[in-house]
Amino acid sequence: MSDGIQDKFKPAWSLQNWEAFDDVLYSALSHEHERQATGLELIASENYVSKRVLEACGSLFTNKYAEGYPGKRYYGGCTYYDQVEQYAIDLAKRLFDAQWANVQPHSGANANLAAYFALLEPGDTLMAMSLSHGGHLTHGSPVNLSGKWFKSVPYGLDVNHRIDFDQVRDRAKTHRPKLIVCGATCYPRTIDFEAFSSIAQEVDAVLMADIAHIAGLVAGKAHPSPLPHCDVVTTTTHKTLRGARGGLIMGCREDVGVKIRKAVFPGTQGGPLMHQVLGKAVCFKEALEPSFETYASQIIKNAKALAEGLMDRGFKVITDGTDNHLIWVSLLDRTTLDGREAESRLEEAGITVNKNTIPDDPRSAMITSGFRLGTAACTTRGMGESEMGAIADWIAQALSSESAEQLNRIRCEVKILCASFPIY
Catalytic residue annotation: 65, 67, 210, 236, 239, 245
φ/ψ of 316, rounded to 5, equals -90, 110
Q: Specify whether the CB–CB gap between 162 and 189 falls below 8 A.
A: yes
Full DSSP string of 149-163:
SSEEEEE-B-TTSSB
The CB-of-136 to ligand DSN minimum distance in angstroms stands at 6
Nearer to ligand DSN by C-beta: 108 or 251?
A: 108
Nearer to ligand DSN by C-beta: 197 or 357?
A: 357
Nearer to ligand DSN by C-beta: 185 or 352?
A: 185
The CB-of-414 to ligand DSN minimum distance in angstroms stands at 22
Peptide bond into 266 cis (omega under 30): yes
The CB-of-178 to ligand DSN minimum distance in angstroms stands at 23
Binding site for ligand DSN (CB under 6 A): 45, 108, 136, 185
State the DSSP code for 98: -
The CB-of-290 to ligand DSN minimum distance in angstroms stands at 28
Cα four-point dihedral sign 278, 280, 282, 285: negative
Nearer to ligand DSN by C-beta: 81 or 328?
A: 328
Residue nearest to ligand DSN (CB): 45
The CB-of-110 to ligand DSN minimum distance in angstroms stands at 11
φ/ψ of 120, rounded to 5, equals -130, 160
How far is the C-alpha of 3 from the C-alpha of 194, rounded, in Å?
55
Nearer to ligand DSN by C-beta: 197 or 354?
A: 354
φ/ψ of 166, rounded to 5, equals -65, -40
Nearer to ligand DSN by C-beta: 168 or 353?
A: 353
Alpha carbon 89 to its chain centroid, in Å, reads: 20
Q: Which of 225, 139, 227, 136 is nearest to 177 (CA)?
A: 139
Paired sense of beta strands 72-73 and 232-236, if any = unpaired
The CB-of-374 to ligand DSN minimum distance in angstroms stands at 9
How far is the C-alpha of 283 from the C-alpha of 236, rounded, in Å?
12
State the DSSP code for 157: B
How far is the C-alpha of 328 from the C-alpha of 353, rounded, in Å?
11
